[in-house]
């Protein structure tokens, strides 16, 4: 009888302990859930009150200088892609409160197609909105495709130490023919079209294909040069040797060459040239939900995994 009572007592105590453990775990999960809910709510409020687009709403109601930033490589899929920059420029020009537009550039260049697209659109927007001046302001560097774009502006401003120029075109490739021979590796390439493999780095250079590519680069280079000449006009000092050779200069040297009109920053141009110190930035951005998901999603996923899912597997 005693053994039976002891077993019964142990079973009761065990069940009570298990029940208590389950209640504690359930309470902990609900506690974490409400903490996450509170965190998400506070984060949403924070994003709403710190969102740059929302904080600029009041500025948009006033006369202002529109600012579009072109940073980095000008290429499809990049932040400075033609689609992004052109969309921002259109919004800036079409705003009836815009007194002038500044395109602030910090770019080493990019593809001729993307740069040409932006250049052509600037020309179109300037013609469509003749009462809105448009200026390019160079920060650290404005080379190659970056300068291609800048040359479409009414005027170009830069810092005395900015890097400008590089009016040229390049195509990079490597040759591994000798290395293949030393390694004893045989290259087997099948093509339909005798020039289909003209850029194959494992094959010897074909003189005819090389000349074809050089002609292609020269044609694009001439398009680049013509765009700069059309944009800069008589301000260019075309008598300078190497102006279109791909060389780069400082902003101060650019003044002498006609690549730059004046030295000055974006705030200087807004205040002293356009006459509207109030600057509003125009850019293609993700909507609020996407930004919120990007800022909160990773944290939420990590917490959910570590605090909610893991205990269920224990």
For the chain, give percent helix, strand, coil, nearest 5.
55, 15, 30
Q: If you search the block for the tokens 């609020």, which residue do you land on?
A: 288
DSSP-assigned beta bridge partners for residue 74: 110
Please state whether 72 falls in left (phi above 0), alpha (psi between -120 and 50) or beta. Answer: left
Q: If you search the block for the tokens 């003749």, which residue do you land on?
A: 130
Please indicate whether residue 144 is annotated as part of the active site: yes
SS3 79: coil
First and final C-alpha spacing in the chain:
37
Please state whether 110 falls in left (phi above 0), alpha (psi between -120 and 50) or beta. Answer: left
Cα atoms in the 13 Å half-sphere on the side-chain side of 13 = 6
**Who's near 165: CB < 8 A, 6+ residues apart?**
143, 147, 246, 247, 248, 249, 254, 257, 259
Cα atoms in the 13 Å half-sphere on the side-chain side of 261 = 19
DSSP state of 74: B
Catalytic residue chosen out of the listed positions 19, 181, 196, 245 = 196
Catalytic residue chosen out of the listed positions 144, 151, 162, 166 = 144
Query: What are φ and ψ of residue 134, in 5° steps?
Result: -135, 125
Catalytic positions, written as ranges: 144, 196
């Amino acid at each position: 009888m005693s053994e039976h009572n002891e077993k019964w007592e142990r079973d009761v105590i065990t069940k009570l302990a298990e029940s208590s453990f389950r209640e504690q775990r359930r309470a902990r999960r609900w506690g974490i859930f409400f903490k996450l809910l509170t965190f998400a709510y506070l984060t949403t409020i924070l994003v709403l009150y710190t969102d740059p687009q929302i904080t600029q709403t009041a500025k948009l109601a006033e006369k202002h200088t529109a600012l579009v930033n072109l940073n980095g490589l000008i290429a499809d899929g990049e932040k400075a892609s033609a689609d992004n920059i052109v969309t921002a420029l259109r919004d800036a020009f079409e705003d009836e409160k815009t007194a002038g537009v500044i395109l602030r550039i910090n770019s080493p260049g990019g593809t001729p197609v993307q740069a040409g697209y932006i250049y052509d659109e600037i020309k179109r927007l300037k013609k469509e909105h003749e009462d809105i001046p448009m200026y390019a302001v160079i920060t650290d560097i404005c080379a190659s495709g970056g300068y291609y774009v800048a040359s479409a502006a009414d005027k170009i401003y830069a810092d005395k130490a900015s890097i400008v120029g590089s009016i040229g075109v390049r195509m990079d490739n490597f040759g591994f023919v000798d290395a293949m021979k030393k390694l004893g590796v045989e290259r087997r390439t099948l093509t339909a079209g005798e020039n289909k493999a003209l850029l194959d780095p494992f094959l010897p250079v074909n003189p005819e294909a090389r000349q074809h590519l050089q002609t292609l680069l020269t044609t694009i280079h001439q398009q680049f040069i013509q765009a700069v000449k059309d944009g800069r006009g008589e301000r260019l000092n075309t008598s300078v040797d190497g102006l279109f050779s791909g060389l780069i200069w400082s902003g101060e040297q650019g003044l002498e060459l006609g690549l730059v009109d004046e030295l000055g920053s974006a705030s200087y141009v807004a205040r002293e040239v356009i006459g509207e110190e109030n600057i509003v930035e125009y850019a293609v951005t993700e909507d609020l939900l996407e930004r919120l998901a990007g800022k909160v999603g990773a944290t939420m996923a990590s917490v959910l995994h570590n605090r909610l899912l893991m205990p269920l597997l224990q």
